[in-house]
Chains A and B, each alone.
Chain A
Amino acid sequence: MAAPLCLFLTRPRLVWFFSIVASGLAFLISCLLLQQVMASGTISYELGAWDAPWGIEYRIDQLNALLLLIISSISTVVLLAADTSIRKEIPEDRHTVFYILYLLSLAAMLGIVATGDAFNIFVFLEISSLSAYALIALGKDRHALWASFQYLIMGTIGATFILIGIGLMYQMTGTLNIADLSIRLPEVAQTRTVFTAFAFVIVGVCLKLAMFPLHLWLPNAYAYAPSIVTAFFAATATKVAVYLLIRFTFSVFGLSFSFTHLPLQVVFMVLGLVGIFAASTAAIYQSNIKHLFAYSSVAQIGYMIVGFSLTTALGLTATLLHLFNHALMKGALFLALGAVMYRIGTTQLRDFQGLGRQMPVTMAAIVIGGLSLIGVPLTVGFVSKWYLVLAVIEVGWWPIAVLILLGSLLAVVYVWRIVEVAYFKPSLEGADSIKEVPLAFMIPIWTLVLANVYFGIDTRLSVQVAQAASQSLFGVSP
Chain B
Amino acid sequence: MLMGLYNYWVVIVLMMVGFYIVIAHGNLVKKIVGLSIFQTSVFIFYISMAMVDGGTAPILDEGIKQYSNPLPHVLILTAIVVGIATTALGLALIVRIKEAYGSIEEEEIQKKDNLDC
Question: A-side interface residues toward B, CB under 8 Å?
Answer: 119, 122-123, 126, 130, 133-134, 137, 142-143, 145-146, 148-149, 152-153, 156-157, 160, 163-164, 167, 170-171
Report how far A153 CA is from B39 CA in the complex, Å: 12
Q: Are A164 and B45 in contact (CB under 8 A)?
A: yes
Minimum C-beta distance from B41 to chain A (A): 9
Given contacts A130-B86, A142-B101, is CB(A164)–CB(B42) below 8 Å?
Answer: yes
Q: Are A143 and B38 in contact (CB under 8 A)?
A: no
12 A-B contacts, Cβ less than 8 Å apart?
A: A123-B78, A126-B82, A145-B100, A146-B109, A148-B93, A149-B97, A157-B38, A160-B42, A167-B45, A167-B49, A167-B72, A170-B49
Q: Are A167 and B100 in contact (CB under 8 A)?
A: no
* Other 15 A-B pairs with CB < 8 A, given A119-B78, A126-B85, A145-B97: A122-B79, A130-B89, A133-B89, A134-B89, A143-B113, A145-B93, A146-B109, A149-B90, A152-B86, A156-B35, A157-B35, A157-B38, A160-B38, A167-B42, A171-B49
Interface presence of B94 (CB below 8 A)? yes
Q: Are A130 and B42 in contact (CB under 8 A)?
A: no
Q: Are A157 and B22 in contact (CB under 8 A)?
A: yes
Chain A residue at minimal CB-CB distance from B97? A145
Given contacts A126-B82, A145-B100, A156-B86, is CB(A133)–CB(B93) below 8 Å?
Answer: yes
Q: Are A146 and B113 in contact (CB under 8 A)?
A: yes
Report how far A133 CA is from B82 CA in the complex, Å: 14
Q: Are A123 and B96 in contact (CB under 8 A)?
A: no
Interface presence of B116 (CB below 8 A)? yes
Q: Identify whether the interface residues of A are mostly helix, strand, loop, or mixed.
A: helix
Interface flags for B75-111 (1: CB within 8 Å of A; 0: not) read: 1001100100110011001101100110000000100
Q: Are A119 and B113 in contact (CB under 8 A)?
A: no
Interface flags for B18-50 (1: CB within 8 Å of A; 0: not) read: 010010000010010001001100100110010
Report how far A134 CA is from B22 CA in the complex, Å: 20
Given contacts A146-B113, A156-B39, is CB(A126)–CB(B90) below 8 Å?
Answer: no
Q: Identify whether the interface residues of B are mostly helix, strand, loop, or mixed.
A: helix
Q: Are B93 and A149 in contact (CB under 8 A)?
A: yes
Chain A residue at minimal CB-CB distance from B38? A160
Question: B-side interface residues toward A, CB under 8 Å?
Answer: 19, 22, 28, 31, 35, 38-39, 42, 45-46, 49, 72, 75, 78-79, 82, 85-86, 89-90, 93-94, 96-97, 100-101, 109, 113, 116
Given contacts A157-B22, A170-B49, is CB(A142)–CB(B93) below 8 Å?
Answer: no
Q: Are B31 and A153 in contact (CB under 8 A)?
A: yes
Residues on B with C-beta less than 8 A from A149 are 28, 90, 93-94, 97
Report how far A145 CA is from B46 CA in the complex, Å: 33
Report how far A133 CA is from B72 CA in the complex, Å: 28
Q: Are B75 and A126 in contact (CB under 8 A)?
A: no
Report how far A142 CA is from B113 CA in the complex, Å: 9
Report how far A119 CA is from B113 CA in the complex, Å: 38
Chain B residue at minimal CB-CB distance from A167? B46
Minimum C-beta distance from B8 to chain A (A): 11
Contact of A123 among B28, B82, B89 (CB under 8 A): B82
Minimum C-beta distance from A194 to chain B (A): 15
Q: Are A163 and B22 in contact (CB under 8 A)?
A: no
Minimum C-beta distance from B84 to chain A (A): 11
Report how far A156 CA is from B94 CA in the complex, Å: 16
Chain A residue at minimal CB-CB distance from B116? A143
Q: Are A126 and B109 in contact (CB under 8 A)?
A: no
Minimum C-beta distance from B23 to chain A (A): 9
Q: Are A137 and B93 in contact (CB under 8 A)?
A: yes
Residues on A with C-beta less than 8 A from B86 are 126, 130, 152, 156
Report how far A23 CA is from B93 CA in the complex, Å: 28
Chain A residue at minimal CB-CB distance from B49? A171
Chain A residue at minimal CB-CB distance from B90? A152
Minimum C-beta distance from B25 to chain A (A): 11
Q: Are B85 and A130 in contact (CB under 8 A)?
A: yes
Given contacts A133-B93, A149-B94, A157-B35, is CB(A163)–CB(B42) below 8 Å?
Answer: yes
Given contacts A143-B116, A164-B42, is CB(A152)–CB(B97) below 8 Å?
Answer: no
Report how far A404 CA is from B42 CA in the complex, Å: 40
Chain A residue at minimal CB-CB distance from B22? A153
Q: Which of A122, A157, A163 has the most CB of B within 10 A?
A: A163
Residues on B with C-beta less than 8 A from A164 are 42, 45
Chain B residue at minimal CB-CB distance from A147? B113
Minimum C-beta distance from B53 to chain A (A): 15
Residues on A with C-beta less than 8 A from B93 are 133, 137, 145, 148-149, 152
Report how far A133 CA is from B92 CA in the complex, Å: 11
Report how far A122 CA is from B83 CA in the complex, Å: 12
